[in-house]
Amino acid sequence: MTTTPIAADPRHPLTLRNGSATFIIALASLMMANLAPFVMTALGGLGFDVIASGNILTWALLASAIVGLGTSRLAAGRARRPLAIAGLAVAALAFGVAALVPAAGPAVAGLIVGGAGVGAAISTSGAAIAALRNPNRVSATSGLVNRILITVILALVPIIGISQGSVFGTLALISLAGLALAAWLPDSPEHAAPVDVTTSLQIAEPRRITIAGIAVLVVFPLWGTSEDAIWTMAPVLGDAVGLGEQPLGFALSLAAAGGILGMLIVSIFGARIGRAVPLAVALALGGTCKIAIGFATDPLLLAALIIAVNTIYAFAFALFIATAAGLDARGRWSGPLLGAYLVGSSFAPLIGGALIEGIGIPGFTLITGLVSFLVIVPTVLIARVSVGAEQALARAAERAA
């Protein structure tokens, strides 16, 4: 399905200023999750075992998710910039304490409080994406910048040395970078609500937009948890077929590169590829690949499937963000979306481990694959409402001009 660019789009054009602010703050919001293996190592260096380290990280991620959800309404209004500034200031200070104070108690407290601080970044960056034109391209570009910078950071931290100072210090520096750019976050456009409901755009009726918004806050985290469960259980899956640590590491690196490719595709084609059909195809392919992982007995095949899953995941992830952003230019739905996602993501390792222990690897991958198929229909309906909302927004802007 293709869509015609909306000529009267009242949202802001993407510029160096608003783009850098939105993308770097988005990077800050998810950096702790992306540095999770290094955070675990740093906590281990402070004397915590694997279980305790995992619990601490889960609480820090949940703090981010809860604050992200709780501040989403503020992020959709005039408080967007002050909220980002306050949250990132708290995060920079708390992560700085965690990096510099050589004691377990302050480090743990700093990590959790810092996680709560970047929760504000989650909601403000998500809402800001909705304020920019062409949500497909903007969300994919944000993800692309995010993945490239994370790849660089993940390569540099081990060179410096994985320690309390390097890991938590990195989180503090990224928060400071977001804080420096927060004043450039885009405001909500003047005509943000798609109030022009016509017979041809009944799909964009406000009640339907609200239902679609609530639905995407349920569907996206559910799907994301199934994807993250596969990713976090990759070492277990590799051990089952004899895929060694180094080959698995190489496969995961290629999977990350595949994710960059998936987001690059959305960034290049933007609104021309639409949302409903590409999401349906991606979910079906991803679900098939996840199910196939459970029945793969060849290490090379398993590696190829993991790479394919992550490539498709990144493609669909960008379109999900764009779908939420398209529903409301104020960011009422894209603001809380990543917070909702992090709630599920926090428990993905526990869910994945429990399923593998309880029903085995084939059963685990079958369930995660079926999740992708189960969300296809609601996702397509949400995507159609999202496109209709953008069209109604353009008509409202034309009438107000």
In the chain, % of residues over pLDDT 70: 91
Strand partners, 12: 132
**Torsion angles phi and psi, residue 78, rounded to 5:** -70, -15
Cβ atoms < 10 Å from Cβ of 196: 18
Q: How far is CA 367 from CA 78, 226, 286, 288, 359, in A?
A: 42, 8, 13, 11, 10
d(CA 228, CA 218): 16
CA 6 to chain centre: 26
Helix (H, G, I), strand (E, B) or coil at 132: strand
Radius of gyration of the chain (CA): 20
Are 339 and 123 spatial neighbours (Cβ–Cβ below 8 Å)?
yes
Are 326 and 135 spatial neighbours (Cβ–Cβ below 8 Å)?
yes
pTM above threshold 0.75: yes
- Mean pLDDT, to the nearest integer, of 3-29? 79
d(CA 229, CA 232): 5
Contacts for 173 with CB less than 8 Å, ≥ 6 apart: none
Q: Around 141, how many Cα atoms within 13 Å sit in the side-chain half-sphere?
A: 22
Q: Given pLDDT bands bounded at 50, 70 and 90, which one contains residue 396?
A: low
Instruction: Of 257-266, 358-367, 385-394, give the range with the top mean pLDDT.
Output: 358-367
Lowest-confidence region among 28-32, 55-59, 182-186, 199-203: 199-203
How would you class 190 by CB atoms within 10 Å of its CB: exposed for 0-12, middle for 13-18, buried for 19 or more?
exposed
Interval 208-219: pLDDT, tens? 888 999 999 999
The predicted pLDDT at position 226 comes to 92
**Torsion angles phi and psi, residue 251, rounded to 5:** -65, -40
274: left (phi over 0), alpha (psi -120 to 50) or beta: left
Locus of tokens 């309390």: 164
d(CA 247, CA 300): 9
Interval 88-133: pLDDT, tens? 999 999 999 999 998 899 999 999 999 999 998 888 988 888 888 8
Q: Which two tokens stand for residue 327?
A: 């529903």
The predicted pLDDT at position 379 comes to 96
Q: Nearest-CA neighbor of 70 among 130, 23, 117, 131?
A: 117
Q: Is the pLDDT reported for residue 395 higher than 80?
A: no
Interval 27-43: pLDDT, tens? 998 888 878 778 888 88
Interval 282-336: pLDDT, tens? 999 999 999 999 998 889 999 899 889 988 998 999 899 989 988 888 888 888 8
Contacts for 304 with CB less than 8 Å, ≥ 6 apart: none
The predicted pLDDT at position 190 comes to 61
Q: Is the pLDDT reported for residue 11 higher than 90?
A: no
Q: What's the DSSP call for residue 179?
A: H
Q: What's the DSSP call for residue 297?
A: -
The amino acid sitting at 110 is: G
Arithmetic mean of pLDDT over the chain? 85
The predicted pLDDT at position 140 comes to 84
Q: Given pLDDT bands bounded at 50, 70 and 90, which one contains residue 397?
A: low
Q: Is the pLDDT reported for residue 73 higher than 60?
A: yes
The predicted pLDDT at position 198 comes to 41
The predicted pLDDT at position 199 comes to 41
**Comparison of pLDDT for 270 and 345, the residue scoring more:** 345
CA 270, 274, 279, 284: dihedral to nearest 10 degrees? -110
Locus of tokens 């939105």: 22
Q: Nearest-CA neighbor of 42 among 208, 158, 198, 185?
A: 158
First to last CA, the chain: 30
The predicted pLDDT at position 398 comes to 58
Are 254 and 307 spatial neighbours (Cβ–Cβ below 8 Å)?
yes
Interval 267-296: pLDDT, tens? 888 777 888 899 999 999 999 999 999 998
